[in-house]
């Protein structure tokens, strides 16, 4: 890890939208990125002024003012999905690279419009679940020749899908299905790959199942669970001869043991090439791998963006293509009502 103050040639950046989430997560994460914060942009002048003073940068009321006054290469946008598309297009048209917090917008067509303005700029959406270490371990196992052969993926996440999907899509209000449903959806997408079809089956309260058929033949199941606050989530990834479980930040790879139904007597046989392998953060040390910004994937989503800018290459994760498919899954979930909707 190289810290912000150690980079010789940082990227000049601006942050648009410095509300609660940004102040708690986006701004602190800059400490670990190759950036120089030149300005923050916020409509509330009082909040903008005091935050700019804290971070030793300037404050502007509008992005246009910031672009005119500052030599900025890239922006981090963290406002609302209603405003994200317009602000992204404004930044791209001004020649800036764009990182945007999820959700990227309200509809899939908005992503298509953003694509038309992208050009050679780097655009990344901050789907932290897709970048989280637990998810990347799952992707590693799925793609490894030693394990592979993905059969199914399970996500258990407290969520509901609203009943009147067409009305929700026409509404200017942000549903929880959009605002937080993208978290488990981005996990399923990252692990399972391209989605071919979507089927939602829910009860009157909106809880139930969203089934994804992946193009590779695997099946994804998002269990729309009920539960207490704060939320609890679990994930399972299943191959032919292995399974991987994610419970909070604890990752367990179950490899099985040498087993004969009527004869095996030892659940912990000799050697270390069978049984379970467990990865989890430790609370003993105040080190980076234990911090929520890292365990949840936030820093990695932002670092991928910066790495792509510095290397002058397009991103591989959190792309506009990923966002378009994810928004199509979101829309299909609203409109399915028990019917299978095909994305191709």
- Show me where the domains of the chain are located: 4-127+296-318, 131-294+326-342
Please classify residue 312 by burial: count the beta carbons closer than 10 Å to its beta carbon, then call 0-12 exposed, 13-18 middle and 19+ buried.
exposed
CA distance 75 to 70: 12
Phi then psi for residue 260, to 5 deg, are: -125, 125
User: For residues 121 and 92, is the Cβ–Cβ distance under 8 A?
Assistant: yes
61-119: per-residue pLDDT in tens? Answer: 999 999 999 999 999 999 999 999 999 999 999 999 999 999 999 999 999 999 999 99
Give buried/exposed letters for 254-292 (b at 16+ CB in 10 A, else e): beeeeeeeeeeeeeeeeeeeeeeeeeebeeeeeeeeebe
| Upstream peptide bond of 174 is cis (omega within 30 degrees of 0) | no
Helices (H), the chain: 20-21, 27-29, 45-55, 63-69, 84-93, 108-118, 128-131, 133-143, 165-170, 176-179, 182-192, 292-295, 298-311, 320-336
Q: 């467990």: which residue's tokens?
A: 278
CA distance 178 to 184: 11
Q: Is the pLDDT of residue 308 over 90?
A: yes
239-294: per-residue pLDDT in tens? Answer: 999 999 999 999 999 999 999 999 999 999 999 999 999 999 999 999 999 999 99
pTM confidence score = 0.96
User: For residues 153 and 236, is the Cβ–Cβ distance under 8 A?
Assistant: yes
> Domain 131-294+326-342, what fold?
Dihydrodipicolinate Reductase; domain 2 (3.30.360)
Give percent of the chain with pLDDT exceeding 70: 100
- Residue 227: which pLDDT band, with cuts at 50, 70 and 90? confident
CA angle at 222 for the pair 216 and 225, rounded to the nearest 5° = 170
Q: Say which CATH architecture domain 4-127+296-318 belongs to.
A: 3-Layer(aba) Sandwich (3.40)
Other CB atoms within 10 A of residue 344 CB: 7
CA distance 332 to 316: 24
CA distance 29 to 301: 10
């Amino acid at each position: 890890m190289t810290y912000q103050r150690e980079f010789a040639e940082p990227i000049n950046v601006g942050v648009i939208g410095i509300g609660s989430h940004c102040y708690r997560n986006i701004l602190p994460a800059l400490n670990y990125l190759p950036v120089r914060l030149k300005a923050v942009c916020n409509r509330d002048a009082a909040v903008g002024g005091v935050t700019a003073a804290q971070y030793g940068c300037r404050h502007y009321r509008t992005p246009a003012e910031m672009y005119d006054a500052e030599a900025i290469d890239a922006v981090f946008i963290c406002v609302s999905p209603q405003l994200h598309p317009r602000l992204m297009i404004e930044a791209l048209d001004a020649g800036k690279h764009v990182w945007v917090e999820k959700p990227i917008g309200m509809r899939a067509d908005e992503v298509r419009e953003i694509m038309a303005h992208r050009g050679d700029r780097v655009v990344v959406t901050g789907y932290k679940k897709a970048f989280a270490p637990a998810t990347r371990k799952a992707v590693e196992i799925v793609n490894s020749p030693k394990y592979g052969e993905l059969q199914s993926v399970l996500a258990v996440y407290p969520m509901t899908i609203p009943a009147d999907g067409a009305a929700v899509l026409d509404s200017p209000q942000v549903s929880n299905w959009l605002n937080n449903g993208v978290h488990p959806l981005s996990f399923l997408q990252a692990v399972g790959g391209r989605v071919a079809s979507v089927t939602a089956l829910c009860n009157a309260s909106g809880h139930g199942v969203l089934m994804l058929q992946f193009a590779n033949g695997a099946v994804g199941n998002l269990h729309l669970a009920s539960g207490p606050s704060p939320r609890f989530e679990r994930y399972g990834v299943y191959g032919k001869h292995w399974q991987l479980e994610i419970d909070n930040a604890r990752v367990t790879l179950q490899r099985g043991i040498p087993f004969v139904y009527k004869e095996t007597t030892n659940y912990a046989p000799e050697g270390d090439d069978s049984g379970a392998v467990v990865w989890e953060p430790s609370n003993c040390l105040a080190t980076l791998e234990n911090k929520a910004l890292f365990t949840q994937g936030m820093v990695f989503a932002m670092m991928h963006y910066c790495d792509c800018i510095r290397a002058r290459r397009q991103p591989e994760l959190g792309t506009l293509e990923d966002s378009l498919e994810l928004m199509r899954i979101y829309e299909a979930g609203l409109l399915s009502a028990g019917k299978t909707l095909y994305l191709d």
